[in-house]
Amino acid sequence: MSDMGTLPGWLKPANRVVKLLHRLGVPLGTIHLITIPGRATGEPRSTPVSPLTVNGRRYVIAGLANSNWAENARAAGHGRLSKGRGHEVIDLIEVTDPATRRQVMTAFPTEVPHGVQFFIRIGLVSSGDPAAFAAASDKVAVFEIRRGERSDG
Structural domain boundaries of the chain?
11-147
Angle made by CA atoms 11, 17, 21, in degrees to the nearest 5: 140
- pTM as predicted: 0.85
Q: How far apart are CA 133 and CA 56, in angstroms?
A: 20
Residues 6 or more apart in contact with residue 123 via CB below 8 angstroms: 4
Q: Across residues 80-107, what is the average pLDDT? A: 94
CATH code for residues 11-147: 2.30.110.10
Cβ-based neighbours of 45, under 8 Å, separated by 6 or more: 35, 36, 37, 38, 68, 69, 72
pLDDT tens readout for residues 35-59? 999 999 999 999 899 999 999 999 9
Q: For residues 98 and 89, give the distance between their C-alpha atoms in angstroms, rounded to a whole number.
A: 27
- Percent of the chain residues past pLDDT 70, beyond the cut: 84
- Picking from 127, 117, 123, 150, the residue whose alpha carbon sits closest to that of residue 139 is 123
Task: Dump pLDDT digits (tens) for 83-94.
Answer: 877 889 999 999
